Amino acid sequence: MAEFIYSKKSQHTFSLTKSKDLYADADIVTLSGELKVFAYRGTYLHIADKEDFIIVLGYCHYPGESVEHTASRILQTFKESLIGELKSELCGQFIIIIKKAGLMYFFTDFMHIGSIFYSEDFSVITSRFSAAEEAMDMGRDNVNNYKIFEFIAMQQIIYPTTLGAGTIHKKIKRIRPYEYLVKDVLGSNVRIGEVKFSINNKKSNDIHKLAADLIANLKSSLENPDLKEKPIWVSLTGGYDTRLVATIASRYFKNITFRVGIPKTGASKDFVFAQKTSKVLGRPLRTYLCDDNDYDDFYVLTDGMSPSENCLISQIIKDNGIFSLGIGGCFGTELFTPLNYRSVESFIEQSLLKAARNIRANENMWDSLRTSMIKEFENIKSHYSLAENNPNDEIRIFNLFRTGIFANMVWQYNIRGLEFEPYMSKKNFELALQISKNHMGRKESLRGIAQVQKEAMAQLAYNAAKIGTTHYCPMVPCTIRSLPSYLYYFLPHVIAEISKRLRKMTHHTVCINDLSYASNGWDGLFLRRLKEKYNLQGSIYS
């Protein structure tokens, strides 16, 4: 991802310029004196109009338009009251900085995959947490111990992230999905603005229309006339999400290659199903082997905040500079997985109980986590106005925003190319909230989950849909016609699940101050960061 930093400290340099030459041959663009962009050519766009300008970091366009045409249109028509509309209508994951009429605006995509951090006094505003850290005092006195606990507890609940605006550094905050920053160019005034969204979550039982709308949403978000003939690489795994995106993308882009990451052992169901699907769709498949040598770069570029196993994608992301756009399939799981909670309160209490199974901390920590989760839901309710009251929709929004922050850590690793996650748009966000409980499906049933995705895939390419998935069934609705395939994949799945539950998982205990928790090693990079940045040593016991 292209990076930016605004800093009043003229001596402040961006951390990545000193990190193993990762940005050695990148562009360094200085704008308005205190604003610098660090990026490889092609990963950002800068358009100026006299004293005004727009900078797009990442990938951003209106459906059917090029990135450049979109950016020009935004700059010409921009006013602060349009920020909510832009976040709702633009496709892509991005950070946009606009200077107009003496003010500078900073905002991100709808799902907030592009993150913006700022110091308490606004002397530093940046897209990278470690860059903000450099400008602050480091050491144990500045670490927020509660946020360390929160980060670890949220890993048990959904993904390792922090809640609200706070971070593990006491003086660094992150803007939230509904926030943006406005800075006076000539003065020192900075304020935080907020956007409110109206969300249509009225439920529909018409699965054929829901599937058709999903196909139309994904198709329109992929359409970009400048890229139609360019080399495009699309992730393809054994899951539902990437298969649907890959199928739609292969019908629009002329020069497309599928890609899959596999562990160094070489054993991968993702590879088996991706290979079969690529043959049916008639496109080449490129495989990437996880390499232990990638861990240092992955640690630096993700600020040590991503689970170690995510290094699996590092080779894929490293190659992003050799093609025009990489396309993924993230967020489908969080959009289409069924939720069945009686209330937001029951979700919070069940989440706390789940986290407490593997974590030992004092009661004050748990009380603070409960309060933070309650506050998060209050903010969701006040900024995302649902057409119908539905606690499971509020919980889905909560989970999606945790996923967005989590995805940012991996998105930061992509410094040489553009990456696009087409599931993550306001249209798909609303569509997922419109699916009736019946069409969400159930994990425990033979027909499984993701009924709308299955219907969409069956409408598009039945031969590719009937191939098995890592979800134990083909990607078609369960009917008399497909029942033999369901039964064929279901029995091995049941055996594998029983075997997994009987298998003894290897865990060790990690202690940080008064906090202790069971870990399978996911936190290796995070512990390294606490030691190197904050002189905080975690003790590990077998």
β-bridge partners, 48:
53
Condensed to tens digits (0 to 9), the pLDDT of residues 490-503 reads: 777 777 777 777 76
Beta bridge partners of 204: 435
Structure-derived torsion over alpha carbons of residues 38, 41, 45, 48, reported in degrees to the nearest 10: 80
For residue 333, the one-letter residue type is T
- Residues 155 and 13: their CA atoms lie apart, in Å, by 32
CB atoms within 10 A of CB 120: 12
- List every span in the chain annotated with CATH 3.60.20.10: 3-136+171-195
**Residue of 445, 350, 347 lying closest to 394 (CA atoms):** 347
Question: 3-136+171-195 has which fold?
Answer: Glutamine Phosphoribosylpyrophosphate, subunit 1, domain 1 (3.60.20)
CATH superfamily of 199-337+401-454: HUPs (3.40.50.620)
Scored b (16 or more CB within 10 A) or e, 492-502 reads eeeeeeeeeee
Quote the CA–CA distance of 116 and 134 in Å, as a whole number.
15
Among 456, 496, 463, which residue's Cα sits nearest to residue 240? 456
**Do residues 497 and 504 touch, judged by C-beta distance below 8 A?**
no
With cut-offs at 50, 70 and 90, classify the pLDDT of residue 186. Answer: confident
Question: Which of the pair, 407 or 56, is modelled with greater confidence?
Answer: 56
Is pLDDT of 11 > 60?
no
Residues of the chain with CATH 3.40.50.620: 199-337+401-454
Quickly count: other Cβ atoms within 10 Å of residue 487's Cβ: 12
Q: How confident is the model at residue 352 (pLDDT cuts 50, 70, 90)?
A: very high
Instruction: Please tell me the distance from the alpha carbon of residue 159 to that of residue 307, in angstroms, as a whole number.
Output: 9
Q: In the chain, what is the straight-line distance between the N-terminal and C-terminal CA atoms, in Å? A: 38
The answer to whether the CB of 527 falls within 8 A of the CB of 299 is no
pTM of the model: 0.93
Residue 87's pLDDT is what?
A: 98
For 290-346, how does the pLDDT look when each residue is reduced to its tens digit (9 = 90+)? Answer: 766 667 777 777 888 888 777 766 667 666 677 899 999 888 989 999 999 999 999
